[in-house]
Amino acid sequence: MASFPKRTITIMKKILIPTKLEKLSADILQGAGYTVIQDSETSLMEQAAQHPDCSAMIVRSEKITPEVIDALPELKLIVRAGAGFDTIDIAYARQKGIDVMNTPGANANAVAEEVVTMVLSHYRHIVQGDNTTRAGQWEKKNLMGRELTNKTFGIIGLGNIGRLVAKRIEGFDPVILGYDPILAPQKAREIGIEPCSLQEIFSKSDIITIHVPGGPDTKNMIDRELLSLMKDEATLINCARYGVVNEQTLRELKAEGKSIHYLTDVYPEDKAGDKEVADVASIMLPHLGASTIEANLTAARRAAEQAIAYFEHNSTSFVVNKGTPDGLDPSYQRLAWMLSSVARKWTKGTPVRQIDCTFYGDLNAYGKWFWAPILSGLSPNVDRGIMPSDAAKLLQNQGITIIEREPSEQKIYGNSMTIDLITETKGSIQSLSVRGTLTEGMPMIARLGAFESLYFNMQGHSIFMHYKDRPGVIASIAAILAEKGINIENITAPRNAQIEESLAVLKVDQPVSDEIIAEISKAIDAIHGFYVGF
């Protein structure tokens, strides 16, 4: 445990802990001279009304809404005792000058051990064996199991949890395949994981475990295409977030005779009641991933220590919503995020080896402040509001080199940026360049790969179709969209005569499903097609 010298605080700071958290957190804070109110029974709004003078809050899964924030006018800090902070309105907190921290990695080992526990329980029928034996039965002949040894294990998301899963299963002599959109291939191999595409993992693995965050970027990430690739009797584990797996598609495939075993502990809401997934899940747990004594102690200790370091030593490590320095328009950081998000779609999530950036005009002075938004666009695991120092650590951990090039004086691009991705797949090195700027406050993509002079507003719903240049393609795309009841608001379609290829970018009035994108791609024989929405 870190040691903080006790000192007299000029203005006694009050810290509210409106949740069930290990008493260790309150003990550490009180030992450092803070007043602590810990109450897991009274409603959050009631506590806010009773303690409007609190300077900080430590929470678990409580929803921190604008109403809660407005009720605490003296609030300076919110600490999430855990990794995920999607229950906290971090944007509104930033508007109010409130820093939000998390404690990443505190629960990682607990979740990794839960994954191993679930697959072993499933393979050896532990739950059924216990239930039937307690009932006086002897089901030995009906409970023939399987061994985990020498199986092929696929890990989706190679952050703290994914890497710990790999480490925990090493003793079973597995083949470990991994997918992470920003982990450099050589870094994955260093930790004993063979980098693969999602399609390869789903077609080759006996067991697949998911460790990505929730949200729009990963909603229905595990779709019909991937589920259809799974081996018969393969096992899929979701201890990440509800919505990442398209459970309805899983249900349909199982009804069609596809044998997939599904183990989960995530649901639309963490509460009692019937669960829709019960008919397709082999094992269901009540979101126990972080529910260990050790994980709770670690999260409690780190939350308290981070709060003390924040107030006593002005430490902003782990702040997740303070990513804009004075003098920089945050719209440019959003532009960097958008550009790299489009680049990720264009490169089909191929692992990144190097990022080369050029920031023109006034942006050149703020280069490092774009690292997090760029990484966030490449991987939903990364929050675009993290501090540059944390982004630098993440880049190092992922084995990615980032290079800031000095802008050429001959190139007068105003306040704009160019982001070049160097990717690697099975030893093949590829590069993609994307450039953008703001025009009257609108985020514009000016260049994508071999296609110049796009100047397309990225806000809203957009379809990108890359194809061999020939007449009539735009009409074919428009016909399919019209058939689906989708209106086109704008089109730009540059062509590159040297390579005889074209790019059609269409702004539409609603989101476009993967199924429609696939239909259009097939109809025009596209090289690549995708949808993005901002």
Q: What would the pLDDT profile of 318-358 be if each residue is shown by its tens digit?
A: 888 876 777 888 899 999 999 999 999 999 888 888 999 99
Q: Which two tokens stand for residue 114?
A: 């839960």
- Residue 230 to residue 413: CA distance in whole angstroms: 48
Neighbour-count burial of 257, counting CB atoms closer than 10 A to its CB (0-12 exposed, 13-18 middle, 19+ buried): exposed
Residue type, 308: I
With a pLDDT cut of 70, the percent of the chain lying above it is 97
Mean pLDDT value of segment 299-317: 92
26-30 long-range contacts, Cβ below 8 Å, gap at least 24? Answer: 26/304, 28/1, 28/4, 28/301, 28/304, 28/305, 28/308, 29/304, 29/307, 29/308
Q: Which backbone phi and psi does 179 adopt, to 5 degrees?
A: -130, 130
Q: What pLDDT digit, counting tens, does each position of 239-255 carry?
A: 998 999 999 999 999 99
Report the distance separating Cα 504 and Cα 473, nearest Å.
Answer: 9
| Residue 4: per-residue pLDDT | 46
Among 44-48, 184-188, 283-287, 375-379, which is the least confidently predicted range?
184-188
Distances (CA, A) of 269 to 243, 272, 287: 11, 9, 10
Residue 215 — very low, low, confident or very high, per pLDDT cuts 50/70/90?
confident
- At 160 the pLDDT is 87
Measured CA angle at 353 (ends 528, 359), to 5 deg: 85
237 phi, psi to nearest 5 deg? -115, 125
Is residue 487 scored above 50 in pLDDT? yes
pLDDT of residue 12: 65
Under 8 Å CB-to-CB from 472, ≥6 apart: which residues?
none
Mapped onto helix, strand or coil, the DSSP state of residue 108 is helix
* pLDDT level of residue 224 (50, 70, 90 thresholds): very high
User: Strands, DSSP E only, in 167-280?
Assistant: 175-179, 194-195, 207-210, 234-238, 260-264
Least reliable range by pLDDT among 76-85, 375-384, 502-511: 375-384
Q: Work out the pLDDT band at 410, boundaries 50, 70, 90.
A: low
| Tally of CA atoms within 13 A in the half-sphere of 380 that contains its CB | 19
Sign of the Cα pseudo-torsion (283, 288, 293, 298, in order): positive
Amino acid code (one letter) for 511: P
pLDDT tens by residue, 166-180: 999 999 999 999 998
Least confident interval from 313-317, 360-364, 526-530: 313-317
If you average pLDDT over residues 374-383, what whole number do you get?
Answer: 84
Phi, psi of 79 (to 5 degrees): -115, 125
Q: 322 is written with which tokens?
A: 């303070």
Q: Tokens 């009540």 — which residue?
A: 286
**How high is the mean pLDDT of the chain?**
91
Q: Specify the 3-state DSSP secondary structure of 293.
A: helix
Cα separation, 206 vs 172, whole angstroms = 13
* pLDDT at res. 124: 97
Query: Could you tell me the domains of the chain?
Result: 14-105+293-313 (3.40.50.720), 108-284 (3.40.50.720), 325-455 (3.30.1330.90), 460-534 (3.30.70.260)
Distance, CA of 534 to CA of 525 (rounded, Å): 26
Of 10-19, 40-49, 304-313, minimum mean pLDDT range: 10-19
Q: pLDDT band at residue 521, thresholds of 50, 70 and 90?
A: very high
In this structure, are strands 260-264 and 281-284 parallel, antiparallel, or unpaired? parallel
